Chain A
Amino acid sequence: MNYFIQLIVSGIVLGSIYALIALGFVLIYKATRVLNFAQGELLMAGAYIAFALTVQLHIPFWSAFFIAMLLCALLGLIIEILILKPLIGEPIISIVMITIGLSIVLKAIVEMIWGTETRVYPAIFSTQPIALGAISVSKSSLFSLVAAITLFIIFHLFFKFSSTGIAMRAVADDQQAAQSMGINIKKIFAISWMVAALVAGIGGILIGNMNGINVSLGMFGLKVFPAVILGGLDSIPGAIIGGITIGVLESLSGGYLDPLVGGGVKMVAPFAILLVILLIKPYGLFGTEEIEKV
């Protein structure tokens, strides 16, 4: 039983990271209808930028954190202007391929600068696990869970009350109507990429604190697809619930099935689940069903 609860808890921690990446993903999809295959690489870029600032430039963690966030947002803006803007109105395959191309380029750049070996962050939190009843959680996992929850509350309020947030929702709902109400769509597109890159960057720093970073961090971006599909591609609560569900399922299947078949189930289980979801409920739990009219 303890093992089961331990798996659930580590699943929730992992899932909260997935949820964070999924959040950035959904933001971009909601506002611009672009499925971003490079979300994982944005996360990696954020993690490496923070690494460079704290370890290589010796800036104290919290100020480095904020500088990294600024740089991430800037990266998002540059990507939007240079790469996504020329592709407005192009077919879906072009958009899929350009974000894949972007992910390859980002990965190559990081590899050129920092190499392929795993880098470790300085310990900000003690590695001493905290005992919660019978189970133990490391302090950095707990921190990432808290950070994820805080971010979701901030985003919820942002979309509910700030005028930019409301404008973003309007653009997501109906671009033409939003434009005729005087919303600057180009600005909204740029903002969504900046915010998405920023959120990904935070996710990267959280992962870096838990496991260290290397160039395969981008894989997180692919593993987040099951989460967003489960929740619905354009739903923010869906991203959270989908992320945590997939995290827990991954942790459970890894814990119970891996010994049976000899490893690797963790990687593939989310995708098997994904295929089932797509067949039963293609638009996810909370996604908007796309109805086509002639």
Chain B
Amino acid sequence: MAIKCGIFKTSYMSDMAIWQTKNSRFWMTLFFISLAVFPFFVSKYFLYMANIIAIGVIAAVGLNILTGFAGQISLGHGAFIGVGAYFAGYLTSQFNINFIPAFIAGGLVTAVVGMFFGLPSLRLKGFYLAIATMAAQFILAFVFIHLRSVTGGSQGMIVSPPEIAGFSFDSDFRYYFLSIGTAIVMTLAAKNLIRGKFGRAFMAIRDNYIAAKTMGVNIFLYKIIAFGISSFYAGIAGALWAHYIQIITPEHFTFSVSIEYLAIIIIGGLGSLLGTVFGTIFIMVLPEFLRFINGIVSLHYPMLVNMFDAIREGSFGLAIIGFLIFEPDGLAARWKTIKNYWKLWPFSY
């Protein structure tokens, strides 16, 4: 395995290739194999973590397409996840519709809802758009609580585990293959999307929308498409989430969930799919890690047990602030630095 000290590209095709080098293909293959064998060796707890990370990755990739690539801030992502969860859950539990059509319908309906709430983005930018999407969050949350005939209100909606062709995904182990599989497909789809015409249009709008308009990008259309795609991802993630935890209540889709997803893409790196995965792992593992530490420390300081919620919230906030001040490009940039360091080792400087 020869290690190159530079990548010399001669065509646009090679610059856009997913597998940049033989080396990266080797490591990615290894990564996929380890994902496939991972569930056979670990406990239920790690499977649970892997499932929520996989579902989180889907939703976060959606948000990163909208915010990181198209440059439109959304503070309503949590509510969009909720739309997908409730809609898909309603279809499977009330009408006994098969999982796959319900799952796709959940994504599509959420896409429509997202496009509707994305309409203000045609006139609004920056702070004003952030506030408009925040309004969407609160309005949808209100609907979740008060549309009792569909959502079950604050008592929640009970959903049975999904079944595809007679095979029931009713355990953490079985669900792992569904969630990880969907996450991989959705992430690759996103990768292809942003390599193509749509991605170029999104980035042009993000970087300078006036210039993009001059170049002939239909801003109206692409902003709405960005909202649609992003919400589609949210809806798919919501449908998976609903069928995984099997009881959904409005508390799962609050404003703080929207903030959590924004934190994921900030910490991971805006406009980086790899970063999105890192960010999701970071945010999902952080509370578990803190719980572990707290468990040890509270043996000596028992009062810490009651403070755990505040400590978890506080570290979450500190992580956001810390990354924004010290590593604004997120874990993706850090990863690149580390990789470059080792690439040129021992002659790095």
B336 contacts the other chain (Cβ, under 8 Å)?
no
How far is the CB of B290 from the nearest CB of chain A, in Å?
12
Chain A residue nearest in CB terms to B141: A268
Question: Is A264 within 8 A of B324, CB to CB?
Answer: no
How many chain A residues touch B (Cβ–Cβ < 8 Å)?
43
CB-CB under 8 A from A53, the residues of chain B are: none
**How far is A83 from B67 in the complex, measured between Cα atoms in Å?**
23
Interface-central residue, A104, A225, A262, by most chain B CB under 10 Å: A104
B318, closest chain A residue (CB): A105
Distance from B330 Cβ to chain A, minimum over Cβ atoms (Å): 11
In this complex, how many residues of chain B approach chain A with their Cβ under 8 Å: the count is 45
* Pick from A261, A262, A265, A294: contact of B210, CB under 8 Å: A294
Q: Which of B252-266 contact A (CB under 8 A)?
A: 255, 259, 262-263, 266
Q: Whose C-beta in chain B lies nearest to the C-beta of A113?
A: B310
Q: In whole angstroms, how far apart are the Cα atoms of A222 and B141 in the complex?
A: 15
Among B75, B139, B311, point to the contact of A268 (Cβ < 8 A).
B139
> Is the beta-carbon distance between B317 and A268 smaller than 8 angstroms?
no
Contacts A112-B310, A275-B136 given; indicate if A104 touches B130 (C-beta within 8 A): no
Contact of B132 among A104, A109, A275 (CB under 8 A): A275
Return chain B residues, CB-CB under 8 Å to A105: 314, 317-318, 321
Chain B residues positioned under 8 Å from A87 (CB to CB): 324-325
* A residues near B145, Cβ cutoff 8 Å: 264
**Does A93 lie within 8 Å of B320, measured CB to CB?**
no
Within 8 A of A (CB), among B151-180: none
- Please tell me if B270 contacts chain A, counting CB pairs below 8 Å: yes
- CB neighbours (8 Å) of B316 from chain A are 104
Q: Is B67 a contact partner of A93 (Cβ separation < 8 A)?
A: yes
Residues of B within 8 A of A63 (CB): none
CB-CB contacts below 8 Å: B113-143 with A: 119-120, 123-124, 126-128, 130-132, 134-136, 138-139, 141-142
B295 at the interface (CB under 8 A from A): no
CA distance A227 to B132 in the complex (A): 13
Residues of chain A within 8 A of B320, CB atoms compared: 97-98, 100-101, 104
Nearest to A262 among chain B residues (CB) is: B146
Per-residue 0/1 for B252-286: is the Cβ within 8 Å of any A Cβ (1 yes, 0 no)? 00010001001100100010000000000000000
A271 pairs with B307, CB closer than 8 A: no
CA distance A51 to B130 in the complex (A): 33
CB–CB B310/A111 < 8 A: yes
Q: Which residues of A contact B139 (CB under 8 A)?
A: 268, 271-272, 275
Asked if A222 contacts B134 (CB within 8 A), the reply is: yes
- Say yes or no for B61: interface residue by CB 8 A criterion: no
Contact B266 A97 (CB under 8 A): yes
B127 touching A92, Cβ below 8 Å: yes
**Contact call B321/A102, Cβ cutoff below 8 A:** yes
- Report the nearest A residue to B325, measured CB to CB: A86
Q: A83-B321, A229-B131 are in contact. Are A93 and B120 (CB under 8 A)?
A: no
Q: Measured between C-beta atoms, what is the minimum distance from A128 to chain B in Å?
A: 36
- Complex contact A83–B325 (CB within 8 A): yes
Chain B 88-123: CB-based contact to A (< 8 A → 1; otherwise 0): 000000000000000000000000000000011001
**Which residue of chain A is the closest to B73 with respect to CB atoms?**
A93
Q: Which of A247-283 contact B (CB under 8 A)?
A: 261-262, 264-265, 267-268, 271-272, 274-275, 278-279, 282
Q: Which residues of A contact B (CB under 8 A)?
A: 35, 83, 86-87, 90, 92-94, 96-98, 100-105, 107-109, 111-112, 115, 222, 225-226, 229, 233, 261-262, 264-265, 267-268, 271-272, 274-275, 278-279, 282, 292, 294
- 15 examples of A-B residue contacts, CB within 8 angstroms: A90-B324, A93-B270, A101-B317, A101-B320, A104-B317, A104-B320, A109-B310, A111-B313, A112-B311, A115-B306, A222-B134, A233-B128, A268-B142, A272-B139, A278-B124
